[in-house]
Amino acid sequence: MGSAKVVQGNMAAAKSAALSMAMGKAMEEYLILRLGEAGLINNFERIVREILPALNEGIENFHILSEYTGGNEYQVLVNVKVNKKVIDDKLRLSGISLEQAYQSRVLFMVAEVGRERSNYWWKDPDFFSVLNQTEVLLYNIFQERGFIPVNHTFGIADGSLSPEMHRKDVSRKHAVEWGKILSADFVITGSNVFEDDNITTLHLRVFSVKEGLLLAEGTETARREMIGKLTPEDNQVVEDVARKLAERLIPSMLYMGSESVARVQQILITLKGLRNYQEFKAVQRFLEEDLPGVQSVRQNRIGQGLLSVEVDFSGTRDELLRRVLNQEKLSFKLVLESAADTEIVFQVAQ
């Protein structure tokens, strides 16, 4: 829906403004469905700056369903069809990953360096080892962004570790080794240095465990109100610094992905031979709630005994086929009628 004030009786201008609002909202809704919550959060600045202003090019056509004028305001209800290829191309050109990163496991190895001592868990990684305050903040930030922070406090067989792996400054080689030991996809190393002049400096490096590569690094600095032991006020300063740095590092992690990250693709599923409304709802509920790998389900077309839905699926078409055909949740059996790259047709067995 879109709306606009009618100024000095200029209905044409109000209609144009209302249509622009409606189509902008439609494009925002498509981006929410396409990228998911984590994708929007991780790329929000680029979406606002680069994608939204140019998204009208992604509108294939629109149809006005209803109009209303009252109280000097024009309101319109519009059905908008988007060109998914155009939008996806724009997203890729802006460096926005169309793969989901919510399954990636990240290990933090960030030392806190103060005036008197350094605090880092891998110096003595036993059962009682805990995250320092900076790592706790990073843990929460990356968890919000859809990553799975690795909990290293379950204990590690110390005899399997070389002395070099206990050093405060973690090399690329040893970061990758730690990542393999703790089954991480990414390892973030670095330090948070609290200096005498009330300055805190956070330096981080991101390594891909699978590729053994340094993906990105960065530094952020801020002034604290007090020297010495961290206070709640200081925590906010450190959190602000950590969030700024995370914004710069996360895109490189999205580009690389990992073995645990499956490509999300859109697949059109059509079901023929449905006999009643209850079967319609049962299938839709099954796809949304009971089929592993399904990110979202959007109704595409409904007709006599027919239902078509667009499914965002994390995996291959063959994996989706296998899971649907082997399902035991529905009270009726589905039989494969045809399958193309991005479209599958099932028939309800009578």
In three state form, how does the secondary structure of the chain look? CEEEECCCCCHHHHHHHHHHHHHHHHHHHHHHHHHHHHHHHHCHHHHHHHHHHHHHHHEEEEEEEEEEEECCEEEEEEEEEECHHHHHHHHHHCCCCCCCCCCCEEEEEEEEECCCCEECHHHCCCCCCCCCHHHHHHHHHHHHCCCEECCCCCCCCHHHCCHHHHCCCCCHHHHHHHHHHCCCCEEEEEEEEECCCCEEEEEEEEEECCCCEEEEEEEEEEECCCCCCCCHHHHHHHHHHHHHHHHHHHHHHHHHCCCCCCCEEEEEEEEECCCCHHHHHHHHHHHHHHCCCEEEEEEEEEECCEEEEEEEEECCHHHHHHHHHCCCCCCCCEEEEEECCCEEEEEECC
Residue bearing tokens 């209800």: 77
Domain boundaries, the chain: 2-93, 105-256, 264-348
How far is residue 203's CA from residue 195's CA, in Å, rounded to a whole number?
14
Residue 283 has pLDDT above 50, yes or no: yes
Residue 96, token pair as written in the block: 């926005």
CA 303 to chain centre: 34
pLDDT in tens, 164-186: 888 889 999 999 999 888 888 89
Residue 308, token pair as written in the block: 């078509």
Q: If you average pLDDT over residues 87-107, what whole number do you get?
A: 71
Indicate whether this model's pTM tops 0.85: no
How far is residue 186's CA from residue 40's CA, in Å, rounded to a whole number?
21
Model confidence at 157, in pLDDT bands (50, 70, 90)? Answer: low
Specify whether domain 264-348 bears CATH 3.30.70.
yes
- How much is the pLDDT for 175? 93
Q: If you average pLDDT over residues 49-75, what whole number do you get?
A: 85
How far is residue 212's CA from residue 310's CA, in Å, rounded to a whole number?
37
- Highest average pLDDT, of 205-209, 234-238, 273-277, 304-308, comes from 205-209
- How much is the pLDDT for 98? 66
Specify whether domain 105-256 bears CATH 3.40.50.10070.
yes
Residue 187 has pLDDT above 90, yes or no: yes
| Neighbour count for residue 46 (Cβ, 10 Å) | 15
Instruction: Please state the three-class secondary structure of 10-55 as a single string.
Output: CHHHHHHHHHHHHHHHHHHHHHHHHHHHHHHHHCHHHHHHHHHHHH
105-256 and 264-348, same CATH topology: no
What φ, ψ does residue 196 adopt, rounded to 5°? -65, -25
